[in-house]
Amino acid sequence: MTSKIKVNLDYLLLVRGMSLTELSEAIDISIANLSILKRGKAKAIRFSTLIKLCDALACQPGDLLEIRE
């Protein structure tokens, strides 16, 4: 079985009432890169980016990322 990491960015944005554009502006990361992450197409994420996302969304890394089998 291969595990896959699911990115819960859509859910967190919905719960926070925030758009992808607002998040992009808040953390200074392009909408294109956030979109790649949101769709689960990213191959990696920097810790600095993860921290920015968690700070902006008031969450923990485990809220943003989860392992699915």
Please give the model's pTM, rounded to 2 decimal places: 0.91
State phi, psi for 55 to the nearest 5 degrees: -65, -45
Q: What is the pLDDT of residue 2?
A: 82
What residues pair up with 5 in beta bridges, in sequence order?
A: 67
Number of H helices, E strands in the chain: 5, 2
The pLDDT tens digits of the residues spanning 10-66 come to 999 999 999 999 999 999 999 999 999 999 999 999 999 999 999 999 999 999 999
Residue 69 pLDDT greater than 90, yes or no: no
